[in-house]
Amino acid sequence: MSLTKITDKAGLHRHLEAAIQLEHATIPPYLNALYSIKPGTNTEAFHILRAVAVEEMLHLTLAANILNAVGGTPDLTVPGFVPLYPAYLPDGETDFQVDCQAFSRAAIETFLKIERPAEGATPGVDTIHKGRKRAHHNGHKRHGTAVRARHVPGHEEEHFYSIGEFYQAIEEGLERLHAEMGDALFSGDPARQITPEYYYSAGGGLMAVTDLASAKAAIRLISEQGEGVTDNIFDYEGEIAHYYRFEQLLLGRYYQKGDARGRPTGREVAVDWDAVFPIKANARIADFPEGSALRQGAEEFNRAYGDFLSLLTRAFQGEPALFVEAVGGMFQLKELYYQIMRQPLGDGTHAAPTYEIPHG
Amino acid sequence: MADMLDGFLALSEALTGFTGHRLRGTGQAEAYLTTATGIVGGGVMRDLLLAAEEARASAGGDAAKHEAELRRLIMSDDRLGPVARNIIRMWYVGSWYQLPKAWREAHGQSPRDQDHVVSPISYTEGLLWPAIGANPAGAKPAGYGMWAMPPRIAPG
C-alpha cells in the first residue's frame, strides 16, 4: 500500500495494517532459513534465528493489538497480504528486496538490511550497506509484489529507510491524533486484545493496548527488539537487538556489553554454512513437477499456512482464545517445512515452501 | 548410490504404505539404506531391490497382484524376507534389530548387526507416529496449551 503522513484515523489504520503486513513479511524468510539448517547442526545459529522469528510473531501481535485498540480490524487473509518473494518490505524500503532462501551469508546480509538501525543512529553500520541511498522520496516506481496498492491521490508517499523510522512515524501519528481527539482515539473493544494469558514465554512481554501509554510501550518494544532506533547494541532490557544478533553470525563472534558496533569481543560463534539443505531460493509451486507428491506436499503447506493466518485473524478479530491454537499450528508447520526441504529437485537444490496462499 | 536410493525408496513405499515423498520427508532414507547395506552387504541389497522391481513390473499397476508378488518374491524368501522385515521396522521405529539367528548362520554375520538406533532423529521421525496419529513422546512439542486439543498429525 502507499503510505502518506498520518493525518486521520484512517491513515493510522493504514499504517498499522502495513505494520502487521511488515512484521509478517519477515517471518517466511526467517523460517525458511531457520528450517534449512540441518537438524542437529548449527545449534547456535538455529537458536538465534528461532528467537528472532518468535519475536517477529510477538511484534505482529503487538501491532494487531495497537490496530484493535484504535478501532481497526486486523486481517491477515486478504489476497496479497503474504508477499511473493523476492519482495519489498511493506514500509516502503525501496533499496533492497527480501529473498526466501537457505541459511547462508547472503540470507543473513538480507536480514541485516531488514533489521537495520534507523538512519543517522548508527554511522558505523554503513560498512554493510555501502552505496545505499536514502529511500525517503516521492514517486518511486514500485515493482515489488509485497504491497497492496492503495494510493491516496494528491498525498505525498512515504518511504522509510528502516522499520524503526516507520514505527516512529506511527508513534508521532498516534500522538498527533491523541492530541486532537483525546482518549476517543482508543475506541477499540478491549476484549479484542491478545493478553499475556494467551502468550507463553515467547519473545518477551506481550501487553494489552488500551491507551496512548500502552501503545507507545508496544511500539518501543517492537523497535528496540528489532534494530533499535538508538545506536545501542543492547536494548533497555539488556537484550541484544536483532540486527546485532544476526551480525554475530557473519562476524563469528558474540557481542558482550561494552563492545563497539562491528567489533564483538565475546566468545566465538561456530557456524557451519554447509550443514544446510540447499533449498531453492524463492521457490514457486510451478517449480515442482505437476502431479508429483512433492507438489501436493507444497500445496498442502500453502493451505496449512493459509489456515494458520485465518486462525490468527479470527484470534485478532474477537476470539483471542484461538491465539493459542494458531501458535500451536506453527509447530505443525515446522514438520511440513522439514518434509518439503528434504526433497531434492534433481538440480542440486531442494524444494522449499512457496507461500502462494490459496484464496477463496 | 543414487540409483540404489531410488530403488530403495520404491521398495520402501511398497513395504511401509507411505509415499516416497513422505519417506524422504523423514530425512532418514539415506541413513536406512546405508545401515541395511552395510550389514547385509551390497549383494543382498541389490537382489532385494531387483526383486522389488520385478514385483512392480509383473503387477503392472494392479495393487493386489503387487502385494502377492511382494509376498512371493520377497517376504517368503529366506534370504530377502528377514531383511525386508528389518527395513520395515527401521522405517517405523528408527532402529535396526539384529537379524534372526537362522539368517545370520546362513548368510553371514556382520559385526554391525546389533540392535541400535540408526540416527539421533530416527526415532522421532519413525512412521509409527503418523501411523497412530500421535506425537513422539518427549519430542516434537505441539506448543503451549496444545495438550488440551486433539493431536493433529499430518497423515501419510
Nearest to A114 by CA among A149, A76, A146, A161: A161
Of B25, B120, B141, the CB nearest to A339: B25
Chain B contact for A43, CB < 8 A? no
CB contact under 8 A, B22 and A332: no
> Which residues of chain A lie closer than 8 angstroms to B146, CB-CB?
324-325, 328, 331
Separation CA B84–CA B99 (nearest Å): 11
B16–chain A nearest CA distance, Å: 16
Separation CA A237–CA A220 (nearest Å): 11
> In order along chain A (360 residues), what is the average pLDDT of each group of 10 residues?
83 96 96 95 95 92 97 96 93 89 97 82 36 33 33 62 90 96 96 87 77 95 73 75 92 92 93 97 96 93 96 97 90 93 95 93
B83–chain A nearest CA distance, Å: 26
> Mind listing the pLDDT tens digit for each residue in B56-109?
999 999 999 999 999 999 999 999 999 999 999 999 999 999 999 999 999 988
> Which residues of chain B lie closer than 8 angstroms to A327, CB-CB?
143-144
Q: Find where cell 522449499 sits.
A: A352
The whole-number pLDDT of residue A1 equals: 52
CB contact under 8 A, B143 and A327: yes
The whole-number pLDDT of residue B64 equals: 96
Separation CA A256–CA A247 (nearest Å): 13
Of B20, B21, B152, the CB nearest to A332: B152
Residue by residue, DSSP assigns A26-48 as THHHHHHHHHHBPTTS-HHHHHH
Separation CA B91–CA A45 (nearest Å): 30
The 3-state DSSP class for residue A3 equals strand
Joined grid coordinates for residue A179: 492530541
The 3-state DSSP class for residue B97 equals coil
The whole-number pLDDT of residue A117 equals: 80
CB contact under 8 A, B25 and A330: no
Bridge partners of A350, per DSSP, are: A279, A344
> Which residues of chain B lie closer than 8 angstroms to A324, CB-CB?
143-146
> Mind listing the pLDDT tens digit for each residue in B117-143?
999 899 999 999 999 888 888 888 888
The 3-state DSSP class for residue B13 equals helix
Separation CA A144–CA A148 (nearest Å): 10
Contacts of B32 (CB under 8 A, 6+ apart): B8, B12, B87, B90, B91, B118, B122
Radius of gyration of chain A (CA): 20
The 3-state DSSP class for residue A199 equals coil
The whole-number pLDDT of residue A201 equals: 59
Nearest to A101 by CA among A299, A249, A280, A336: A280
Contact between A96 and A113 (Cβ < 8 Å): yes
Query: ipTM higher than 0.85?
Result: yes
The 3-state DSSP class for residue B117 equals strand
Separation CA B99–CA B115 (nearest Å): 9
Separation CA A170–CA A149 (nearest Å): 19
Contact between A18 and A90 (Cβ < 8 Å): yes
Write phi, then psi, for A109 (nearest 5 degrees).
-65, -40
Q: Which residue of B has its CA nearest to A201?
A: B144
CB contact under 8 A, A339 and B21: yes
Chain B contact for A339, CB < 8 A? yes
Task: Give the number of C-alpha atoms closer than 13 A to the C-alpha of residue A136, restricted to the C-beta side.
Answer: 11
The whole-number pLDDT of residue A73 equals: 97
CB contact under 8 A, A327 and B26: no
List, in sequence order, every beta strand (DSSP E) within A144-264. Answer: 157-158
The whole-number pLDDT of residue A238 equals: 75
Q: Which residue of A has its CA nearest to B141?
A: A331
- Mutate which of B9, B21, B135, B153 to test chain A, going by most A C-beta atoms within 10 A? B21
CB contact under 8 A, B149 and A328: yes
Q: Which residues of B touch A (CB under 8 A)?
A: 19-22, 24-27, 120-121, 140-146, 149, 152, 154
Q: What is the DSSP letter of B75?
A: I
Separation CA A191–CA A197 (nearest Å): 13
Q: Which residue of A has its CA nearest to B139?
A: A331
Q: Identity (one letter) of the amino acid at A9?
A: K
A340–chain B nearest CA distance, Å: 6
A145–chain B nearest CA distance, Å: 31
The 3-state DSSP class for residue A189 equals coil
Q: Which residue of A has its CA nearest to B18?
A: A293
